[in-house]
Amino acid sequence: MRCIFLLVACAAALSLGVSHAFAQSGGVEKAVGGYNFDEAAKEAPGTKNFHSADGHLTFAVVTHTAGNGFFDPVYVGATVAGNLIGAKILLLGSESPTDDPAREIEILNQIVQDPTIDGLIMTTPQAGAYNDIVKAAEAKGIPVATTNSFDGTILNRNSLSHTGQDASAAAIAGEALVKCLVEKGIEKGSIVLPSSTAMGNIEVNNRVTSAFNAIVKGLKDAGKLESFKVDAGPENTGIDTNPNDPVNGIVTLFESRGDVVGAFAGNNVFTPALAKAVAQTGMTGKICAYGFDLGPAQQEALKGGDLTGALGQQPFLQGFWPVMQLYLQIDRGIAAANLDTRAQLVTQETVGNVGKRFEN
């Protein structure tokens, strides 16, 4: 019996030894080309003295509205990336709580002249307005990355990385709105998508169109389209609503229709206004109201039920990735690569997860 036990024990020990050996098989110690991975992973000797030659990299992040909280996680993401690579990050932007591309451009014109800047990250909500900035930066040898809003016409678009949410993500809210109607047992009524093309933000226009198409498709697939009137204006880019007085504009829209059961707003101007209009008209919990972004106003509206849901753009990535992309361009010579941050639907049930480390 003792011999049998010893044989079993030895076999077990041998088995463990063999398993350990097999676990280590397949390891790669050096590149096929012969170089060492640890050595190749080191930062290039000249990276810290790129452009400004002051011993460290400095990147500027400039946004078109730093006054409403949306870009806070963008700035956090940029700071995290800067800490990882040992870069200084300048956090800049318009002080306005609403879109202010004119002030952003003013800041950009100043910062592009700063001799300490090694890379520039900017939002581009006003299509066609940033070519001179790109031209000036490139003339000085400063790489540029865009984030958040997308300008497809910008100078040398294909050589600039872009990090942001494709407007098609708004379809997530459109699909959720239709599901909300079904769950509430709402069988007919108007669904309105207020917005303003006067703000000049093509991205917002495209969001509204994407949400509109998703709502129409969802209702059609459910065999209910004929029972609802889905209105996003004549071009499906939004029912024209005054951006300077959006709350009263949406209240008036609700009252003029008389049968609104659903609504979608496509940006940080109209989403808080939609929530206030829902509250003022006593429609909290009675309609399916969806919007965009997760600033403080949206979070409070979700908690109180004035908004059914809101789409976060995962803006942490919109700060983190452009910093890393510029670093890779400088240190590795890697060509500009785009990142679609997609969207996450946040509701009353999940808004508690949103905070300074988890903002979307």
Q: Please compute the mean of the pLDDT values over residues 337-357 and round it to a whole number.
A: 91
Q: Answer yes or no: is pLDDT of 22 > 60.
A: no
* Cβ-Cβ contacts under 8 Å for 241 (sequence gap 6 or more): 194, 195, 196, 249, 250, 253, 270
Residue 344, number of CB atoms within 10 A of its CB: 17
pLDDT of amino acid 23: 54
Share of the chain above pLDDT 70, in %: 93
3-state secondary structure of 53: coil
Beta bridge partners, 164, equal 340
pLDDT of amino acid 13: 47
Element (H, E) at 189: strand 189-192
pLDDT digits (tens, 9 = 90+) for 168-217: 999 999 999 999 999 999 999 999 999 998 877 788 999 999 999 999 99
pLDDT of amino acid 296: 85
List the Cα angle 245/251/269 in 5-degree steps.
40
Q: Please compute the mean of the pLDDT values over residues 335-353 and round it to a whole number.
A: 94
Q: Answer yes or no: is pLDDT of 254 > 50.
A: yes
User: pTM score, two decimals?
Assistant: 0.77
Strands laid side by side in the 260-264 sheet:
228-231, 189-192, 260-264, 288-292, 309-312, 344-347
Cα distance between the two ends of the chain: 65
Q: Answer yes or no: is pLDDT of 245 > 50.
A: yes
Residue 65's closest CA among 234, 267, 265? 267
The dihedrals phi and psi of 128, each to the nearest 5 degrees, come to: 90, 0
pLDDT of amino acid 11: 46
C-alpha 203/C-alpha 195 separation (Å) is 12
For residue 50 the two structure tokens come to: 């790129």
Burial class (CB in 10 A: 0-12, 13-18, 19+), 25: exposed
pLDDT of amino acid 295: 82
Compute the chain's Rg from CA coordinates: 26
CA dist list (Å): 134 to 114, 122, 149: 14, 10, 16
